[in-house]
Amino acid sequence: MEEINYLKAERSQAWREDLRKKIKNKDRTGLRRVKMNEVDARERITSYVEVNSGLTKEQAQIEASRCIDCPNPTCITGCPVEINIPKFIKRIEQGDFLEAAKVLKETSTLPAVCGRVCPQEKQCEANCFYTLKLKKDPVAIGYLERFAADYEQASGEISIPEINEKNGIKVGCIGSGPAGLTFAGEMAKMGYEVTVFEALHEIGGVLKYGIPEFRLPNHIVDVEIDALKRMGVQFETNFIVGKTAAIEDLKEEGFKAFFAGSGAGLPRFMGIPGENYLGILSSNEYLTRINLMQAAEHDSDTPVVSGKNVMVIGGGNTAMDSVRTAKRLGAKRAMIVYRRSMDEMPARIEEIEHAKEEGIEFMTLANPIEYFADKNGRVNQVKIQKMELGEPDASGRRRPVPIEGSEEIIEAETVVVSVGVSPNPIVPDSLPDLETTKWGTIVVNPHSLQSSIPEMFAGGDIVRGGATVILAMGDGRRAAQAMHKYLKNNKA
Amino acid sequence: MDIFKFYDTFVRFINTNDFCWQKHKIKISFEYPLIMFKIVNKEFFSENVVKLEIHAPRIAKARRAGHFVILKIGDKGERFPLTIAGADREKGTITLVVQKVGVSSRKLSALEVGDSITDLVGPLGQATHIQHKGTILACGGGVGVAPLLPIVEAYKKAGNRVITVIAARSKDLIILEDQIRSFSDELIVMTDDGSHGQKGLVTEGMEAAIAKEKIDEAIIIGPAVMMKFAALTTKKHNIPTMASLNTIMVDGTGMCGACRITVAGKTKFVCVDGPEFDAHEVDFDEMLLRLNGYKEIEKAAESNYLKTNNDSCQIPS
């Protein structure tokens, strides 16, 4: 209720009212949704250039004017971090782009990242008035978010949110992925001394090792991380909590509470014959070599092998990232093999479209059942079995059923297995009292994200299994608020 | 802080136009003070084998026998594993022994006292399960003797009788002989060419030890092919045996599966499930095959490295 009154008060500010009066709603809703500027498919597969090149100022302002500034903005409820969407969009319409970016930062730690990788079609944009009531294309909230964040980054006038006076309380954050970074930002704003512990040599988690440059350039992530550093967040790379030091050691060093955002980084394999032949690797390994270790660059010491025929098993965003990376590494034939049909594919529609434009082949209703290798043990052929869709399973999706006698052999010298990930066990293993599920995820109170160990909070993929960047960020934000409450009560 | 002012100026400088960094793909990276892993001592065992003592107090405190670390040398360096050969908690240092076999090991060997290792993370893997067992047969081949040392020491301190077999191609590749001897009840040294100790392979030394007395458990560390035959030897005599595996790794935290091997028919990740496994259950042929996965690229990279870097013998005369 308080929230709604607050939104109403903001909406009735003079500048918002003026903007609303300027253009009639009929004219606003008559405009067509903007199309994102893109690099041509033939050109972009020769490099790692970002595919989406962003909106121009003019495009952004016209798109912003489509938003009718609803009295009851339903879009906000679709956003896991509850960005004040109409407010930032109206700032764009007004032409005050830096102010728009500030609005984003009120609740979102990584707007330039979210504007790129969020599945907006399932979140804010699914709840837009245009989608719900007008049955028209929603306002391009994601594009506008990205525009405002990029504009701010490029202006060099990067704002830092207001920070409360330091309270001298030390808290630790395990993992520097989207959940951890958001948590760290929120706690820093509330005046805590936050240290983020990261196992790898770079900050960012999946944003760095997983999502490729052509979808999320690393320098975009680095600028957001620098903003956190300027807010006083400390980062310790090459530090594995539970290995380099135990939670107990850190408590002795004065840490009062912890947030585990250590993710779901363990790749699953299928356990089919020949899966350990050379040339068969997990999408995590493939993408880590390319994105984190820059294996494709000539001066990098990390090698990567990528054949002329590359097969990627799976239909999620990671599979799309892998197959599109293979194309950029020079694959003649880059294929997706997915056991369900196109409709069930969990990857974002935009990514599937981009992949198609780039010449990726889709083999749906197919599943590998065996690998064959040459005399050196390097994979050269994959036996594929065709599938048909049967009855819906527990997840509500129709279960793929193998068709007997439908096997065929396909040539492939590189196979990337992208069939899912499991939670990282290092933190749970180091804490015997921590309650976990049989899948290895940490059990938390769904509201406070507090685990069975009171001073340990958790969020993101370590709680959810493999989920999305924005859900992880939402968790980071909620955990920060809950931890703040917990620490306040405990001191009293 | 001045450092931030400088950073802001820098960002403004490269952004004179909207989004210019996207056009020119300028990578912004900014070095904040890092924890440095400084080399405090360096010693050559031979032309190609170097012992380094590195300042890493947290790892020195947390590590146990059997643990390893992942290193990265330079911005463009690769991540690679090395088993910890020892540590000094008081000094806050760990000891690594590296043999020059490719670009990264050459880069590491070329670092001098006072230089720092860019990235060092650990301790990783499961520690050796040390118990009082009776008589232990510890076998090390080549630089595998370095990670064997803390294990021999731990077994001895747990009250076991320890018989150690160390083996190498020739005399100058036998390392840490005196240190190994100080924790072993018996030491057998084998060289391929007979230039030191007895002439023959590690398995011959093992057979000699097994013939003399009852062995309760064995541990083997060395090149994959040596471990394969050492495992066959103990299997013949039904001696429970652990092998510490050295596969290709990238992250070392279970994230990628580059290090996967088959143990008792199941896929295991060496970095988190190991590095030690029941040697009689390991598919060594598959492991040997996977170790050679990047051989051609590695060889080309090494010869390229040697062309541009003077890597002549650096033993002080």
Q: Which of residues 234-263 of A touch B (CB under 8 A)?
A: 235-240, 243-246
**Min Cα–Cα distance to chain A from B33, Å:** 10
The mean pLDDT of A388-397, rounded to a whole number, is: 82
Whether residue A164 is contained in a domain is answered as no
Same domain, B264 and B216: yes
Distance CA B192, CA B189 (A): 10
Query: A49: buried, middle or exposed (CB in 10 Å: 19+, 13-18, 0-12)?
Result: middle
If phi over 0 gives left and psi between -120 and 50 gives alpha, with beta otherwise, what is residue A206?
alpha
Do A243 and B62 count as a contact with CB atoms less than 8 A apart? yes
Picking from B20, B122, B267, the nearest residue to A269 by CB comes out as B267
Distance CA B279, CA B221 (A): 10
Distance CA A367, CA A372 (A): 15
Whether residue A163 is contained in a domain is answered as no
pLDDT for the residue numbered B71: 95
- Give the residue carrying structure tokens 């690229």: B297
Distance CA A468, CA A465 (A): 10
Distance CA B114, CA B37 (A): 10
Q: Does A375 touch chain B (CB under 8 A)?
A: no
Picking from B7, B19, B272, the nearest residue to A150 by CB comes out as B19
Same domain, B262 and B208: yes
Range of the domain at A61: 1-155
Same domain, A381 and A460: no
Picking from B22, B255, B293, the nearest residue to A266 by CB comes out as B255
DSSP secondary-structure letter at B42? E
Whether residue B168 is contained in a domain is answered as yes
Same domain, A24 and A128: yes
Picking from B18, B124, B267, the nearest residue to A154 by CB comes out as B18
Whether residue A162 is contained in a domain is answered as no
Residue B273: list chain A partners with CB under 8 A.
none
More confident residue, B10 or A284: A284
Distance CA A418, CA A415 (A): 10
Q: Does A347 touch chain B (CB under 8 A)?
A: no
Report the chain A residue with the minimal C-alpha distance to residue B120.
Answer: A238
**Min Cα–Cα distance to chain B from A42, Å:** 18
Residue B258: list chain A partners with CB under 8 A.
281, 285
Confidence class for position A245, pLDDT limits 50, 70, 90: very high
CATH of the domain at A225: 3.50.50.60
Whether residue A469 is contained in a domain is answered as yes
Residue B33: list chain A partners with CB under 8 A.
none
Same domain, A450 and A309: no
Same domain, B116 and B222: no
CATH of the domain at A149: 1.10.1060.10
Least Cα distance to B137 among B235, B237, B216 occurs for B216
Written in H, E and C, the secondary structure of chain A is CHHHHHHHHHHCCHHHHHHHHHCCHHHHHHCCCCCCEECCHHHHCCCCCCCEEECCHHHHHHHHHHCCCCCCCHHHHHCCCCCCHHHHHHHHHHCCHHHHHHHHHHHCCCHHHHHHHCCHHHCCHHHCHHHHHHCCCCCCHHHHHHHHHHHHHHHCCCCCCCCCCCCCCEEEEECCCHHHHHHHHHHHHCCCEEEEECCCCCCCCHHHHCCCCCCCCHHHHHHHHHHHHHCCCEEECCCCECCCECHHHHHHCCEEEEEECCCCCEECCCCCCCCCCECEEEHHHHHHHHHHCCCCCCCCCCCCCCCCEEEEECCCHHHHHHHHHHHHCCCCEEEEEECCCHHHCCCCHHHHHHHHHCCCEEEECEEEEEEEECCCCEEEEEEEEEEEEEEECCCCCEEEEECCCCCEEEECCEEEECCCEECCCHHHHHCCCCCECCCCCECCCCCCCECCCCCEEECCHHHHCCCCHHHHHHHHHHHHHHHHHHHHHHHC
Residue B293: list chain A partners with CB under 8 A.
278-279, 305, 378
The mean pLDDT of A167-183, rounded to a whole number, is: 95
Q: Does A446 touch chain B (CB under 8 A)?
A: no
Same domain, B180 and B229: yes
Last residue of a domain, one of B99, B124, B149: B124
Same domain, A77 and A196: no
Q: Does A362 touch chain B (CB under 8 A)?
A: no
Same domain, A2 and A150: yes
Picking from A226, A236, A278, the nearest residue to B30 by CB comes out as A226
Residue B4: pLDDT above 60?
Answer: no
Picking from B12, B28, B250, the nearest residue to A285 by CB comes out as B250
Q: Which 3 state secondary structure label does DSSP give B82? A: strand
Q: What are phi and psi of A246, to 5 degrees?
A: -85, 160
The number of C-beta contacts closer than 8 angstroms across A and B is 163
Whether residue B299 is contained in a domain is answered as no
Same domain, B165 and B201: yes
Confidence class for position A305, pLDDT limits 50, 70, 90: confident
pLDDT for the residue numbered B31: 41
Query: B207: buried, middle or exposed (CB in 10 Å: 19+, 13-18, 0-12)?
Result: middle
Report the residue of B251, B272, B291, B309 to disrupt the A interface, i.e. the one with the largest count of A CBs within 10 Å: B251
Q: What is the pLDDT of residues B62-97, one digit of tens each?
A: 999 999 999 999 989 999 999 999 999 999 999 999
Rounded alpha-carbon distances, angstroms, from residue A273 to A217, A379, A405, B209, B307 = 37, 12, 18, 39, 42
Whether residue B12 is contained in a domain is answered as no
Whether residue B42 is contained in a domain is answered as yes
Same domain, A304 and A246: no
The mean pLDDT of A277-296, rounded to a whole number, is: 94
**Min Cα–Cα distance to chain B from A73, Å:** 31
Sign of the alpha-carbon dihedral angle for A269, A272, A276, A282 = negative
Residue A148 · residue A235 · CB < 8 Å: no
pLDDT for the residue numbered B6: 52
Do B11 and A302 count as a contact with CB atoms less than 8 A apart? no
Q: What is the pLDDT of residues A53-94, one digit of tens each?
A: 999 999 999 999 999 999 999 999 999 888 999 999 999 999
Q: Which 3 state secondary structure label does DSSP give B38? A: strand
Residue A180 · residue A235 · CB < 8 Å: no
Residue A274 neighbours by CB under 8 Å, 6+ apart: A280, A370, A371, A372, A373, A379
Strand partners, B119: B72
Domains held by chain A: number: 3
Picking from A240, A243, A285, the nearest residue to B256 by CB comes out as A285
**Min Cα–Cα distance to chain B from A212, Å:** 14
Two structure tokens written together for A53: 């090149």
Whether residue B237 is contained in a domain is answered as yes
Whether residue A416 is contained in a domain is answered as yes
Same domain, B210 and B275: yes
Residue B192: pLDDT above 60?
Answer: yes
Q: What ipTM score was computed for the predicted complex, to two decimals?
A: 0.89
pLDDT for the residue numbered B309: 79
Do B257 and A150 count as a contact with CB atoms less than 8 A apart? no
Do B267 and A276 count as a contact with CB atoms less than 8 A apart? yes
Whether residue A241 is contained in a domain is answered as yes
Residue A225 neighbours by CB under 8 Å, 6+ apart: A181, A203, A204, A235
DSSP secondary-structure letter at B78? P
Do B78 and A246 count as a contact with CB atoms less than 8 A apart? no
Sign of the alpha-carbon dihedral angle for B223, B229, B230, B235 = positive
Report the chain B residue with the minimal C-alpha distance to residue A243.
Answer: B123
Distance CA A152, CA B95 (A): 47
Confidence class for position B47, pLDDT limits 50, 70, 90: confident
pLDDT for the residue numbered B288: 94
Q: Does A274 touch chain B (CB under 8 A)?
A: no
Report the chain B residue with the minimal C-alpha distance to residue A430.
Answer: B126
Domains held by chain B: number: 2
Same domain, B117 and B162: no
pLDDT for the residue numbered A490: 84
Same domain, A318 and A439: no
Whether residue A456 is contained in a domain is answered as yes
Do A299 and B76 count as a contact with CB atoms less than 8 A apart? yes
Residue A461: pLDDT above 70?
Answer: yes
Same domain, B101 and B55: yes
Two structure tokens written together for B295: 């051989």
CATH of the domain at B80: 2.40.30.10
Whether residue B312 is contained in a domain is answered as no
CATH of the domain at B169: 3.40.50.80
Q: What is the pLDDT of residues A104-157, one digit of tens each?
A: 998 888 899 999 988 898 899 999 999 999 999 999 999 999 999 999 999 888
Report the residue of A213, A302, A306, A329 to disrupt the B interface, i.e. the one with the largest count of B CBs within 10 Å: A302
Report the chain A residue with the minimal C-alpha distance to residue B67.
Answer: A243
Same domain, A15 and A127: yes
Same domain, B139 and B288: yes
Two structure tokens written together for A210: 């997983």
Residue B256: list chain A partners with CB under 8 A.
267, 281-282, 284-285, 288
Distance CA A132, CA A134 (A): 6
Same domain, B108 and B148: no
Range of the domain at B202: 135-293
Same domain, A341 and A271: yes
The C-alpha angle with vertex A294 and arms to A290 and A296, in degrees rounded to 5, equals 70
More confident residue, A240 or B33: A240
Distance CA A445, CA A468 (A): 20
Least Cα distance to A50 among A64, A61, A60, A36 occurs for A36
DSSP secondary-structure letter at B131? -
Residue A70 · residue A76 · CB < 8 Å: no
Do A276 and B119 count as a contact with CB atoms less than 8 A apart? no
Whether residue B10 is contained in a domain is answered as no
Q: What is the pLDDT of residues A198-216, one digit of tens each?
A: 999 999 999 999 999 999 9
**Min Cα–Cα distance to chain B from A278, Å:** 6
Q: Which 3 state secondary structure label does DSSP give B140? A: strand
pLDDT for the residue numbered A470: 84
Report the residue of B29, B253, B266, B273 to disrupt the A interface, i.e. the one with the largest count of A CBs within 10 Å: B253
Whether residue A442 is contained in a domain is answered as yes
Do B118 and A237 count as a contact with CB atoms less than 8 A apart? no
Q: Does A273 touch chain B (CB under 8 A)?
A: no
Same domain, A316 and A223: no
Residue B275: list chain A partners with CB under 8 A.
none
Residue A285: list chain B partners with CB under 8 A.
250, 256-258
Picking from A230, A243, A425, the nearest residue to B124 by CB comes out as A243
Residue B19: pLDDT above 60?
Answer: no
Distance CA A322, CA A365 (A): 19
Neighbours of B75 (CB within 10 A): 12
Distance CA A192, CA A257 (A): 11
pLDDT for the residue numbered B17: 38
Picking from A57, A200, A278, the nearest residue to B251 by CB comes out as A200
Strand partners, A266: A422
Same domain, B139 and B273: yes
Same domain, A398 and A301: yes
Report the chain B residue with the minimal C-alpha distance to residue A39.
Answer: B23
Do B254 and A238 count as a contact with CB atoms less than 8 A apart? no
**Min Cα–Cα distance to chain B from A25, Å:** 31
Length of chain B: 317
Last residue of a domain, one of B124, B151, B180: B124
Q: Which 3 state secondary structure label does DSSP give B287? A: helix
Neighbours of B303 (CB within 10 A): 10
Rounded alpha-carbon distances, angstroms, from residue A370 to A7, A243, A350, B11, B37 = 58, 37, 31, 52, 45
Least Cα distance to A307 among A336, A332, A328 occurs for A332
Least Cα distance to A202 among B117, B118, B37, B94 occurs for B118
Same domain, A430 and A331: no
Same domain, B186 and B262: yes
Do A284 and B256 count as a contact with CB atoms less than 8 A apart? yes
Last residue of a domain, one of B56, B89, B124: B124
Two structure tokens written together for B116: 């720092």
Report the chain A residue with the minimal C-alpha distance to residue B301.
Answer: A301
